[in-house]
Amino acid sequence: MMIKRVGVIGAGQMGQGITQVLACADIAVTLVDLSQDQLDTALATTEASIAKLKERGKLAAEVNPLPNISVTTEMGQVADCELVIEAVTEDEMTKRRIFSSLNEICSSDAILASNTSSISIGRLAAIIDHPERMIGVHFMNPVPLMPLIEVIEAKATAQKTVAAVTELSERLGKTAVVVKDRPAFVLNRILLPTINEAIRVVEEGTATAEQVDQIMTLGAGFPMGPLALADMIGLDTCLSILDLMFVELKDPRYLPAPMLREMVIDQQLGRKSGVGFYRYDQ
């Protein structure tokens, strides 16, 4: 199956990036969010990102993806899509409501995918009819630049669903690595404990955020410090992933650092709120 029409639910940083790479591959995308303001911001971000990629020679000047994108606040508009990718806030109840609606809206052979960082694809599959069409497609941030898609197959996921998503990944110029459905899958299972430990080091006063990041970039060869990366991911998303890992893996090493929870309560979410471990111009 060759996917040509895709719906993306959630126009935050991931939904915007996913929409952009799909549109650049000449795929028609319908992007859905709760407010027109959020959709306008996503379109403006897409336009700016495409201009920057062209300026740096990473995208051919003649590529014009914007006409491939339509935006709407009506989820019903994804009814004719062959694949719908959910990229809303990392909250299981919100995602459950979305898949329950998509089950009613979409055709019974449409592939339904989640970009979740940690939530069980099997539990989401249990909500829909024909769970063999449910799959995890975990894009990396920033989507236009990162070459990996971590594909998660639940017990019920059909091989033809995996094959369709893998073929799409190739068309997007990305490498799909297919893994099993376990809490936080592979990337975040390994990455989030590192971020959590970096926060604990700052919390206990051993080093500042800048020093932690300097040590891990200059000393461990990380391309970006763990705290700058946490700011980019979003501290709310980091907290949700750690909370889920702690509950589901029952291991104290995943217990979120209290400082992380306090920062999220204070709406210090990283880049998206303008302040996290660092400050950002909006």
Chain residues in the site for ligand NAD (CB under 6 A):
9-15, 32-34, 38, 87-90, 94, 98, 115-117, 138-139, 141, 233-234, 237, 272
Write down the least CB distance from residue 246 to ligand NAD, Å: 16
Burial status of residue 220 (CB atoms within 10 A of its CB: 0-12, 13-18, 19 or more):
exposed
Residue 204 CB, nearest distance to ligand NAD (Å)?
26
Q: Which CB atom, from 19 or from 117, has the smaller least distance to ligand NAD? A: 117
Is 141 tagged catalytic?
no
The least CB distance from residue 190 to ligand NAD, in Å, is 14
46 vs 237, beta carbon nearer ligand NAD: 237
**What is the phi/psi pair of residue 87, to 5°?**
-140, 50
CB-based burial, 229-241: b 16+ in 10 Å, e otherwise: bbbbbbbbbbbbb
Which is catalytic among the residues 188, 196, 240, 273?
Answer: 188
Catalytic residue among 90, 138, 196, 240: 138
- Sheet containing 69-72: give its strands across: 69-72, 28-32, 5-9, 83-86, 111-114, 134-139, 148-153, 175-180
CB count in 10 Å sphere of residue 251: 10
Among candidate residues 150, 153, 196, 273, the one labeled active-site is 150
**What tokens were used for 70?**
């339509």
Catalytic residue flag (residue 101): no
**Catalytic entry in 49, 114, 117, 240:** 117
Smallest distance, ligand NAD to C-beta of residue 199, A? 16
Clarify whether 130 is annotated catalytic: no
Token pair for 274: 């303008």
User: Is there a catalytic annotation at residue 115?
Assistant: no
Of 91 and 132, CB closest to ligand NAD = 91
Nearer to ligand NAD, 84 or 233 (CB): 233
Would you say 135 and 151 are in contact if contact means Cβ atoms under 8 Å apart? yes
Supply the residues annotated as catalytic.
Answer: 117, 138, 150, 188
